[in-house]
Chain A
Amino acid sequence: MTRTSQLGSSPERSDAPAKTSGALRYTDDRVRPGTLHAAVLYSPHAHADIGRIDCAAALAFPGVRGAFTGADWPDVLIGLYMGDKPPLARGRVRYYGEPVAVVVADDEAAALEALRLIRADFTPLPALGSPREALAPGAPILHPDLGSYRRIAAILPEPGSNVANRSRIRKGDADAALASSPVVVEGEFSFPPGDHAAMEPRVAIAEFGLDGRLTVGSSTQSPFGVRTLLSKALGLPERDIEVIAAPVGGGFGGKAGIQLEPLACLLAMRFPGRPVRLANTREADMVSSPGRPGLQSRVRVGATREGMIQAMDMELLFDSGAYADYAVNVSRAAAVACTGPYNVPNVKADTLCVYTNHPFATAFRGFGHIELSYATERALDLLAARLGMDPLELRLKNAARPGHTTPTGATLDPNTGDLPACIARVRERLDWDAGRRAVLPDGRIRAKGIACFWKAPAIPTFTDAAATLSFAEDGSAVLATGVVELGQGSFDGLRLIVAEALGMDLAMVRVLRDADTDRSPHDWTTAASRSLFMAGRAALEAVADAVAQIKRVASAPLRCPEEDLEVSGGRVFLRDDPEQGLPLSTVVLGYVYPNGNAIGGPVIGRGRYIARGLSGMDPDTGEGRPGLEWTMGAEGVEVELDPRDGGFRVTKAACAMDVGRLIHPALARGQVVGAMGMGIGYATREAFVFDSRQGVQNGSLRDYKLLRYGEEPEYFADFVETPQGDGPYGARGLGEQGIIGMPGAIAQAASLAAGVELNELPLTPEHLWRAMREARS
């Protein structure tokens, strides 16, 4: 029996019927009758002392069951790596949109109407509008208690300042290398914070059962993480908490960590036996729940006249907003990869997570790599200009290869992707050598840009995944993992891996949809593009375990040693005499002899994986091995600029990435193309606009603009396959990477078109028009 491999084919997604028929139920599609609805009062100030909050009128409104303020939970602090955030503001609000009070009522309309009856007094304070302002001497200290917050050891806050984390890289001697470099360039690059804007707003529905157990349905990427953090925040043991993650309507990092769950649970504990639903409006989802960080940066690069990079000295200041959340680790991850995918022998970098009075920031697709990439790629553009060198050649020359070391001193092993091959593909796709800049007959200017990226998951050293494989009467297999479906299609990748390993028809393999901490095997978090890699490894082990069990059972009725058996095509059979065998359906739940005797019992395959050989970073030099596998690639764009009014669009976007092994090409392309589209939005329009007191002026989809149909460029997505030795069938992560190089590539192309270096985002038409006008005068 021979089967052709299905790996590398693109079967229809298994969730297509559910998602195209409306049958799929997301978290907010599972509201039970009798549910209470919470509505939140958000701070109208970015920084203010809270005076009196009067809820009396709200409490008297028909249908209202309760109204609460920060004073109701005087001791609770929540945080992912550092507990710095109260569930409702206490004493002080630190950002525009911070939750101040909450009303719980029988229905949502009543809760919302009652909310309008709450009277809250504020005394505004001066608001910090950027990391540099927050680091200036005399700046107000937003977290006076920074020194006493509960935190993990890898995070290094500086109490008495607004620095929530500082990660340091000291590799070689950057100062000396810069002093002796014949060519040195320096630049400052920045952009404001923005939002993930996943189409599903966040929601949590919590019930504190009359049996004392807490159940939370949440639109989360990390059910197990939420369980752990809830346990810490609420003082309930993990065994009494169940977190259920239905498929999520887009995450992009914004639903990792812990979000609405603590407040929903605290409220539920006030109303035992009744579920409490806390659902974000779109506006709250954008401004009150976390977004992505902003950046201010300074980069110096020293190189030889031939363009070999000698050293980088850089400072990346992440605007984390009012609370640290994931951003402390984002800034740490940026340190690990700070140079971008280039061989830089001497590095000095400080990456800081800084508190400001902006909406707080969390993980975002790319996890610190868009930021570092934008800064380093822009600096390389300055270098290329100074050297008079093609920016592509400069990158090719310095591309990181196996044997080189990363900023933390880890050696790139032979598993490392082939960056030069990726650059070559982009070069071809954009017809790079035909010229980088042209003036069209109608006066518009067409220009090209290129950037490279790398990323390794910034994960705890003990990051894990697990899987179980069980079977039904028909011999079909069911894989259970703790992975959450966010749209990335992990389940279809896992399904292909299991089908391949079992030699089974794809239709006979299912992957369980909901992740449920009571039922699913443990899984760190669905983030960092690691699900296919880690859960894939666990799935392979589960298959191997199940196959061994199947052979053991079948060896008795087939009267042969287990070693002579093979499992494939839905059968277990003798390798040398395939006619002799049994259908799996007669074995997987136990084999029954003709006389009624039975052996075996249900087969359950068990698999697990834990990150291999990771270590922490030295606090002074950054030395260590914090990154698992490195995914590398190159991206390029072609843009068109109208010099008269700054009208601007990206017409082509190309990405070539070394993914190790393509498991499901259509899914991979979808991830890359979607990420590029998001990157175009990031570079050209997406950012919060703040007023002079740091209030958000564009906190709705009416004002915060996302890419629409017809605005997308022509996409090219190419894959290079240098196998990842320890990846499932050689695969490595690819979900986030496609966004990383886009801002840099677009800024390069726009700068070339405009004839002026553009060092700030977003590149709106007005921004371009202004820069061109200033350059002329």
Chain B
Amino acid sequence: MLELRRVSKRFVGVVATDDVSLEVRSGEVHALIGPNGAGKTTLISQISGSLPSDRGEIRFDGHDITRARPYERVKLGLARSYQVTSIFKRFTVLDNLALAVQARSGSSFSFWRPVAAEGSLFDEARSVAGEIGLSQKLSSIAATLAHGEQRALEVGLALATRPKLVLLDEPLAGMGPEEAQRMIALIDRVRSRVTVLLVEHDMDAVFRLANRISVLVNGRVIASGAPEAIKADEQVRKAYLGDEVAA
């Protein structure tokens, strides 16, 4: 479904991703793990198109998207969520989601007809809100939501575009244990219809959800494979998993 071939990105003085090759197969939850600063977010941004790659090739669903604009990638069915929450803070929950539905459902070069008259837009937005557990918060301004709720909306915005593949950048970031369980359950529910590339530091979540895992260290993929193989991998233990899995 998604294939990276020798993709690199260099910032002034830092090689953030270095010759990364990676394949995400249709239907799987593929976890991308690695220490802080490994280049995970950079890689997500290269895949979503918000950062142009210096080198390499990215193919998605039969298309070469290496040079495609971010919105073009979304149209092909590739959506992302952000590690640092990026929602429409002054919009209500419902308007946030309706906007994402609107972006998917045809052109927005419609200047006269009120959006409010488009019932189907809001019906679909409500159903996404239900899925992410925000049905009771539809008319709350996004900025006033609790952190966990904002994180849910963050993921909801990506899901509302009805992606084939969703890139989730640390969806559990900053969540309490209860909220984290809800997010894990959400990802578990949507995996039947959406392929997931999951960046996550929470190893409990990773090993519960992932079909396969790739490990990024210093911008390079040092291992990629089934969870058991990754757990057993000597190099991975040394570079990253070490303490967390041993404990």
Q: Tell whether A and B belong to one assembly.
A: no
